[in-house]
Structure 1
Amino acid sequence: MAIPVSVNVPLTNETIDATHKNHIVPDQEFLLQGSVLDTSLGVVIDRLRGLCDNADIPPETFHDHEVVYVLKDFNAPSNPGPAAQGDILRVRHAVDHPELPYQLRYVGYPEIGNHPALLRNCLDVPVSNNVCEFLQELGAKLDHEFVAKGSIMKKGRIKVTVFKMYKIGPGMSKDNLEPMTMSHLVELSVLTSKTDMAVADDLRVLADQLKPLVQLERMDYRRLGPP
């Protein structure tokens, strides 16, 4: 079996020049999350289109399949805590665009601190489509999987995603999925580095402009277990 081949980690346009000069990779992510009922989705999308860039263009849509693995370090101490639970590795690919590379994402545990948004280590790497077999060979265990369908918008460096999560069960196809809830997840996120922390304030400003339609908070859903 071939090892997945990765390419350069994608960078935002604003950080490419600084990255090349200083050899810094934006491996930190600020994140705010909330939810909106399906019945109010249209109002939230209209508000976001007015706040985000390119308001005259319909939002880009996506339909992704995500598989989540846990890779444990068996040499780690047996004491309870994040280290004992293992590292979370997420593999995502676009269902409607099989020609695109798979995405392997590592997401760290939230950092402690008084930040305007949740702050965690995050690294995205395009890989080959045999990445799941590769992770299993490393000893990673399948934790859960789901399908996400929704829209993506941009506000400067901030990425805005509004999507619904679906269960995957026996006999289900990409056109016949069972929704997990009667709501959509709303996420505001931005990739940065430890030298550029002010962008979290921009994230908070955008979140405040969405009130009272949706309440975006610092949440770590991994504490709740798999969906």
Structure 2
Amino acid sequence: MAKDEVKLFGYWASPFALRVEWALKIKGVEYEYIDEDLMNKSPMLLQYNPVHKKIPVLVHNGKPVAESLVIIEYIEETWKQNPIFPEDPYEKAQARFWAKFADEKCQPSIFSAFLKQGEELEKAVKEARENLKTLEMGLKGKFFGGEKIGFADVAIGWIPFWTGMTEEIIGVKLVDEENMTLLNAWFKDVLNVEILKERLPPRDKTLAHCKNFRESLLSAGASASPST
């Protein structure tokens, strides 16, 4: 049988490309990583994702799959070893629910706090805290997947890394140990899972990148989304 050819088009600072890499690593799938310049996207990326023209894109034996959560499900169904999803249909639905909640509620509210100042920052921080407190409800134990990481942890695991940097940049805590005990513990535990930890981008480099990104958006008076 011919060896699978797997390529991942990503961006070093993208949490959405990162979670695809995590899924590939957990599955033990060998892949070629292509880091894109998002200001000058390659013809191959535009060819493989002509609809959204964004990363990440997984190319498996010449066939492209776009959108990070869709890609993770594709990886799960294609390579059966080391399952990411639980077997129980209800638990599987719950994992999808919390991943979707994080993308639709937590990520936009954290990003809003990242961009705001003054009174608008206070409002954005309040919303982000409420969404993160709600996210805490999804924890089934040490992780969203119970005692071992699963789909939701892989999908949401980037939040502790980028939230910590957001807190440092805006000077406000979004998660505190007293009010979000379980989530605070998960923030620490998930980033200490070796297979996830080893693929995190360098914190200092990412922090500088985030600071520059924020300053450029604020000076331009523009709104943008990190979603890819």
TM category (shorter chain) comes to: under 0.3
Structure with more contact order per residue of length (Cα contacts < 8 Å, sep ≥ 6): 1
Question: Normalising to structure 2: TM-score of the pair?
Answer: 0.22
Q: Which protein has the bigger strand share?
A: 1
TM score, norm. by length of structure 1: 0.22
